[in-house]
Amino acid sequence: MAAARKRLQELFEKYDTSGDGVMSEDEMTILLSRVLGIPEGRAQDWFQQADGNRDGVVHTHEFIQWLTTNPPMWKEHVAVADGKKTVEVNFVNTSGAVGQVFTLQFVNCENVSFPKGNPAEVVVQPGETKSMTLLHLTEPYKYRLQVSYRSDASGIEDDPNAFKDASFLHDNSSIVDPNRTLNLGNTEFWMRARMLGDPGSAVLFDRVRPYEVQQGSVGDCWLMCALGSLAAHPNKLKSLFDGRHLSHDGKYKVWLYDLFEKKWCQVEVDEFLPCTVTDGRPCPTFARPLGNELWVMLLEKALAKFCGSYGALNSGYPGWAFQVLTGKSDLIFFLNEGKHWRKCAVKKPDSKEDARNPRSMRMVYCGWGSRYNTEDLFKFLKTHIEDKHVLACSIDRKDLGVEARLKNGLVVHHAYALLQVTSEKMDNGQPLRLVQLANPWGSGEWKGDWADYNIFNKGLASGKWAENPELSKRIGVVRRDEGSFWMSYEDWEANFTKVTLCPVGGKPVPPGEASDEHVDSGEPTGFFSSLFGW
């Protein structure tokens, strides 16, 4: 089965010609025609069947599920007993491995009652058939039934022989930082990552997107922020792993850059993660998936082992994460000094211990010409995002504590991924400068102008978007609280005090294998060297 899943994932990647981790209807049509001989006229129906969550694209796990599993089934019927009418629903779980949770919502109802509540939730175990009375009817009646389902993973280990890393034990020694007293949540057990959800849907990579990175119970927003920024370059992240698929034995090798040795090294990790129980279900203590992909959790674990423990990741700099994940030591910082922004460089680590400490980064001021006004900074940031470099930003306030929340929704001493810096025009033709950010908490957004979500406005977007529907459509505003949001450049500059910029490095290669994409002498070269004045 594992070999078959791998072949299906390789087939998916072959026809995902855009390389964005999802398959469009056009890409799917080509695959169906060439592989299965499905005529173009029928391709749309097949595409809609595979698009399980109806978001207009087919993800890797949807593609695999569509080809390897039969979906759960249900059927409703009106029954009569003792002269009373009821609605019974029969459920069949076609999976032999994972339970299914059915959620049933009755809408447009008249003269009905709900013996199991509305909505009702029914759990059907693997291979089980179940029947349940969910409505009592009185003539004349009407109702409409909406059904959705999700997996209910039991948490039972699927392979007792799965690889377990003896050098990073499944106990407290891999969690705590012996040098600090920290609140790192409550780890109750260690569990294989693929078993946290439906193991039949688990993949190493699905669609890699910035807002699918979510922080857990350790203060590593700096790392999650860096991963969110790098998620805009999926192939860069994927190249950190030796393979792009789930490992059959649960062993993964992750490439990280050693700043002291000035070379790439491999960190070997297993798939077991510290977990707790939330609402009766296993949940990872630290980084949390927003889908079925494991890469975020495994990269966090590799960094934890690299630094000594998960606790060692508590507090750090996005710039350090950029360096370790890209191999580029030549970073640029900008500090907001009120009337201008001061450009800074990063000091090289003095020891091996500093090189593996995410809190050890030190900045030094650049020389002549290192001050940027607001116009120059906007042009600089816009140019470098267009050049595929990655950026992060934060708000440093001496008068407020760590992760204090401002009234406008922003959080101080907290790292945000800076995703876009763009010049636009409002629907009336007036020029506008916008920035897009992502919060690694997966929630908690700006509440001012151009906010895309407002909990005090019943989930509606800022009035600015309502006034500019064409602009909203053009840049793809998403009206939900999922961590990414827009704000004007002027509001951004009035709030944020630090920017970190990293020129994304090349693909890691094993020692001894020459590659023009993987050249890093440990010193800045070319354009970035001139920026530092070194």
Distance CA 516, CA 385 (A): 23
Distance CA 209, CA 232 (A): 6
Distance CA 61, CA 79 (A): 38
The yes-or-no answer on residue 221 being catalytic is: yes
Which residues does 14 contact at the CB level (< 8 Å), separation at least 6?
none
CB atoms within 10 A of CB 531: 19
| Helix, strand, coil share (%) of the chain residues, nearest 5 | 25, 30, 45
Catalytic hit among 439, 454, 468, 495:
439
Angle, helices 295-307 vs 221-230, to 10°: value is: 130
Distance CA 413, CA 428 (A): 37
CB atoms within 10 A of CB 507: 15
The yes-or-no answer on residue 439 being catalytic is: yes
Catalytic hit among 59, 93, 221, 389:
221
Catalytic hit among 59, 61, 389, 414:
414
**Phi-psi category of 315—alpha, beta or left, where left has phi over 0 and alpha has psi -120 to 50?**
left
Distance CA 372, CA 168 (A): 46
Q: What is the DSSP letter of 331?
A: -
For residues 130 and 90, the answer to whether their CB atoms sit within 8 Å is yes
Distance CA 479, CA 290 (A): 17
The yes-or-no answer on residue 502 being catalytic is: no
Write out the catalytic residue numbers: 221, 414, 439
